[in-house]
Structure 1
Amino acid sequence: MFARFKPTWLLESIYELTPAELRKNGIKVILTDLDNTLIAWNNPDGTPELKRWLEVMQEEAIPVIVVSNNSKKRVAKAVAPLQLAFIARALKPFSYGIEEAKKRFKLKNTEVVLVGDQLVTDIAAANAAGIKSILVKPIIETDAWNTKINRFFERIIKKNLVKNKVISSTWGHSLDD
């Protein structure tokens, strides 16, 4: 029952992803959630760490594309200073937004990964789309009101996945952890 929530990898932060690790795993493009994955939900400006990480990905020709359930207006405003492509109203946990990104950017399942902070939306959507996924620790401990419901169910799911040794109880620092 909980298999659809199993991430391929667990990482402390999206910023720990390196071009070398991505290439080693055949990944050419990063699809990422926005809030609490790429930026804190309540800090749309991002951090210097984010900007450095994005510069490295750009220098290494690894596109980063935001796939968010937020409105087009909200996502466009958040990613404008970062100059990132995006898919809004992605309808995660369904695969709609991921499929749209794959179609628009001509991506194969094997060369893309979705990074997100939620099992019940991001990881479920990646699994529904047949792509690899990375669950990251949320950037901050607080959530927008609409995410708090997901977190309740996520705690139950994660506890089951850890108990059944499907995932680790600790966050990794590389894709090899």
Structure 2
Amino acid sequence: MLERFFPSEYTDSIRQINYRKLYDEGYRGILFDIDNTLVPYDMEHPNQEIIDLFEDIKKIGFKIALVSNNNKIRVTTFNEKLKVFAVHKALKPMTRNLKRAMQAIKTNKKNTVLVGDQIFTDIYGGNRIKIKTILVVPIAEKEEWITKIKRNTEKKIIKAYLKRVKKNESKH
């Protein structure tokens, strides 16, 4: 039952993701959450490191979309320098806007990856449409109050996930 909340992969940050390997495995699109995945939720614009990372990912051959549950002003302002397809008020874990983003960047379930920091929105949403999901450790501790409430439960799910991964690794 908990498996529906398990990510395909779990890593410390977006910088730890091997984008070249993903591309070599056939992935062509990446849906990124913004807040606490790319930047702290109170950072208005992407820093140069994020801008450079997006350029590097595009050079590999990926199409990128931002998919955020945040409001239009937040997402539009953040996307000014990135200039990628972006969805605000995505209502994750509902799947409609994840599908819309994939359609916009011309990818499908088999070749799209979703990267986010929250299990109950990002990972569960991606898992519901059966795309690869990568959970990253949240960038900052400062978060919206509703997110803070969910983090304790998320910690238990991550613990169960890591236990499963360790168990599977010991079988091989």
Give the TM-score normalised by structure 2.
0.88
Following superposition, the deviation at residue 63 of structure 1 comes to 1.8
* Deviation sequence 1:111-148 (CA, Å, 0-9, x none): 10000001111100000011001001111122122211
Match of 1:15 in 2: 15
1:129/1:73 Cα in 2 relative to 1: closer, same or farther (>3 Å)?
A: same
Following superposition, the deviation at residue 103 of structure 1 comes to 2.6
Q: Aligned pair 1:140/2:169, yes or no?
A: no
Q: Aligned pair 1:130/2:130, yes or no?
A: yes
Retained in 1: the 8 A contact 2:115–2:136?
yes
Match of 2:90 in 1: 90
- The residue type equivalent to 1:82 in the other structure is L
Q: Aligned pair 1:159/2:159, yes or no?
A: yes
Match of 1:50 in 2: 50
Following superposition, the deviation at residue 107 of structure 1 comes to 1.7
1:69/1:158 Cα in 2 relative to 1: closer, same or farther (>3 Å)?
A: same
Retained in 1: the 8 A contact 2:27–2:111?
yes
Following superposition, the deviation at residue 18 of structure 1 comes to 3.9
- The residue type equivalent to 2:149 in the other structure is I
What is the alpha-carbon distance in structure 2 between the residues aligned to residue 167 and residue 91 of structure 1? 33
- Secondary structure (helix, strand or coil) at the match of 2:50 reads helix
Match of 1:175 in 2: none
Figure out how many residues of one structure are paired with residues of the other and give that number: 167
Following superposition, the deviation at residue 166 of structure 1 comes to 4.3
- The residue type equivalent to 1:76 in the other structure is T
Gaps of 5+ in 1: 169-177
- The residue type equivalent to 1:41 in the other structure is Y
What is the alpha-carbon distance in structure 2 between the residues aligned to residue 167 and residue 114 of structure 1? 23
Match of 2:111 in 1: 111
Retained in 2: the 8 A contact 1:6–1:166?
no
Retained in 2: the 8 A contact 1:15–1:50?
no
* Deviation sequence 1:30-85 (CA, Å, 0-9, x none): 10101011121111222332122112112223122101111222211111122221
Q: Which runs of 4+ in 1 moved over 6 A?
A: none
Match of 1:28 in 2: 28
* Deviation sequence 1:152-175 (CA, Å, 0-9, x none): 321232233334x2479xxxxxxx
